[in-house]
Structure 1
């Protein structure tokens, strides 16, 4: 496996021996973190195995990770348990093992239909492998399937994007994530664009692709519930909703981020360092930020505005003891006058005009 050309996430080439050591180190971190938490915090409603390609781990290792989580946390009987998978990295046998371990949701990194675009992105799978993986999941009883897609890829034409969505609709996943390609500094794609060897997608064409996705997915029964996410009713990603409602979460593993007890903290990035520190009973947290009340307020607003239902102003007032308008009246009036937000029925929402300009809205609250 190789890292995708656009990816700036922390990831490393797969090594079976290192993976085994990592899984056992992770088990130790699970135990240590659980011991620090309250009874309420140890009650878990969602589990997400993601980042890199966790499906490269053996089925036995994936089962072991979940068993350790259950040993030290109380995972709800109806918890949403997701594993990110790259098509072609999972067999029916591995899916069966995951299913027996409680996995009930699979998120597939599909990205595009066309081989030329997959190759450009550095993806190693084919769309046929996507189809086979979806069939295998359903055969083993996992129907809650998400497909990640990317638009705004250099060389991607409007008809390419339309074809990608149509092919994915043929598979009828219950959830689809459609992300505009972000060109992150330090990635091979960033360097290629900076050098002029690759021409980025035209902004207007990218906007048309986004609007096409909104319209075609709505016409096929998908609820557009977050800026980049669409789902059949009742199949929204419960794990991601925790982030968008700005609730507490615990991240485990190298480079994992957490938000607990009004603090954000992140682990060391290097796998070898992570393993060594746990072997030596040293802390793996590399950075901690204490969140002020102002930080919490700002984050609750702009994360809530990512949802199409918008920010619930009554919930906000109960949480913080004041109204959004008390703090940001000028900003709200400005954004409403610009047609980027609408305020009605105890909700503040992005408008159709505001959706593609969301970052310009969010910055007003920071």
Structure 2
């Protein structure tokens, strides 16, 4: 097992586009939940799950930085008990700009966190308000300055394009302000309107003025070009980094490696089995009080499914899928399994082959979901 994902489901504000497992922070058993995470670690250890080979830890949510300094300290204390944090290649936490104080940054740094992933989304204050964010562009700039002062030298920010009412000019301004910060890593995602969100309800009422597919494609082109011009290499469809600053944790997902999911609603993949934890917080905690792992659902991944995942996850990476690695992993030649599909996609100009690797073409980058679907039975 190479990674651990830990879910912190608390938020002070729910964004209009978010469908992750989360609840408003107020009146929640936050301290008890943190202790429950420690109990889940302990039960997994007692059942023979080893954390000795872990290379990366990721705190996600919800919003990990919604926790107080004291709560963050306790959470990190628990993690340090079960994981050799000093030996990790990467230890990341997600963060919101208006919640990440200098004092919290010091707590995170002292607790072994090496990398920040900050949900900036836009540098346009009007758009930030429209999407339900509570920070401003100035907050984002301030927190990055504080993070540098606290000693963080590996910082990423998330940006979203295709937002309601967003113009090409607004997106260009956000890209300019983002790269002027000189960060090591950037993620740029197109808005996906998910069920059970504020945006989904507005869309169903015809009250969500999205830019449209052509504008969205232009924004993606702008993102790729702007990052290249500023020395940030695209290594995955939505991710760009200075050399050596690619996200180790996210690459673990795209390379289909094993990882533990800890926390309410977390997902994991251990020993060929995918599992999801119970989502409701109190039910998650009650199950742990019974000395049982809070698993809601498990699925043994078949060889066919594993090969499919290897393809559609691996093709997200700009370097693509290695035919040699595929054969080493599954004992079957890639062309024997997917030769016809690969040739069809090559003929359509969506993937290309070079140095025993198959990867998306420039056209394929814009039609990735269409490509991935070809590997699903």
TM-score normalised to structure 1 length: 0.97
The answer to whether structure 1 residue 233 and structure 2 residue 236 are counterparts is no
Distance 2:329 2:246 in 1: 24
The match for 1:33 is 44
RMSD of aligned alpha carbons: 1.3
Aligned to 2:272: 262
The question of whether the paired residues in 2 share the 8 Å contact of 1:44 and 1:76 is answered with no
Instruction: State the match for 2:257 in structure 1.
Output: 247
Structure 2 residue corresponding to 1:152, chosen from 145, 149, 162:
162
How far apart are the structure 1 equivalents of 2:86 and 2:107?
A: 20
Count of residues in correspondence between the two structures: 365
Q: 1-side partners of 2:89 and 2:75: how far apart?
A: 16
Matched, 1:11 2:22: yes
Question: For the structure 1 residues 308 and 66, does the alpha-carbon distance in structure 2 shift closer, same or farther, using more than 3 Å as the test?
Answer: same
Go from structure 1 to structure 2 and tell me whether the alpha carbon gap of 1:297 and 1:310 turns closer, same or farther (over 3 Å shift): same
Greater relative CO (CA pairs within 8 A, separation 6+) = 2
Contact 2:44–2:293, Cα closer than 8 Å, also in 1: no
SS at match of 1:213: helix
**Offset of residue 67 of structure 1:** 2.5
Deviation at 1:190, TM superposition (A): 1.0
Deviations along 1:6-49, one digit per CA (max 9) or x if unpaired, are: 1111100003661101001111001111233454x532111100
Check conservation: 1:34, 1:42, Cα contact below 8 A.
no
Q: Give every structure 1 segment of 4 or more consecutive aligned residues whose post-TM-superposition deviation is greater than 4 Å.
A: none
Match of 2:112 among 94, 102, 111: 102
SS at match of 1:48: strand
Per the TM alignment, residue 70 of structure 1 is displaced from its structure 2 partner at its CA by: 2.6
Instruction: Report the counterpart of residue 5 of structure 2 in structure 1.
Output: none
Aligned-pair CA distance for 1:184: 0.7
Kept in 2: contact 1:147–1:177 (CA 8 A): yes
> Do the aligned partners of 1:43 and 1:76 also contact (CA within 8 Å) in 2?
no
- 8 Å CA contact 1:44, 1:75 repeated in 2: no
Is residue 32 of structure 2 the alignment partner of residue 24 of structure 1? no
**What's the CA shift for 1:76?**
5.1
Is residue 129 from structure 1 mapped to residue 130 from structure 2 by the alignment? no
CA contact (8 A) 2:96 2:120 kept: yes
SS at 1:251 equivalent:
strand
- Work out which of the residue numbers 184, 189, 193 in structure 1 matches 2:194: 184
Alpha-carbon distance between aligned partners in 2 of 1:249 and 1:315, rounded to the nearest angstrom:
20
- In the TM superposition, 1:103-122 aligns within 5 A as 103-122=113-132
Write the distance in 2 (CA, Å) between the matches of 1:75 and 1:37.
20
